[in-house]
Amino acid sequence: MGANNYGVVIPDANIDFTINVLVVADFGAAGQRCIALSTIVFVSNSKPWEEKLLKCAKVLKVSVGTEPDADLGSVISKQIYGSTFHKQATQ
């Protein structure tokens, strides 16, 4: 699972709309979708985009995934975290 998925931003893209799409594509589902965005290619100057993306990322609320206002939540349960499977997978 998990190919490299690229987002290509062309010079005349609507910055506000595109920023929202990039944030959802990258951070949506905590990056656990096999189609999650892994790379953004800017056809022109990326500096104004970088600043806006960083600003959006900084305001995302990371919390328990069951909280209604959480943007990002846990991708592992307590049961799996303490399991033999998790210990083997992280060695």
Q: Which residues are catalytic?
A: 34
Burial of 45-84, coded b for 16+ CB within 10 Å and e otherwise, reads eeeebeebbeebeeeeeeeeeeeeeebeeeeeeeeeeeee
Q: How far apart are CA 53 and CA 26, in angstroms?
A: 10
Check if the beta carbon of residue 19 is closer than 8 Å to that of residue 49. Answer: yes
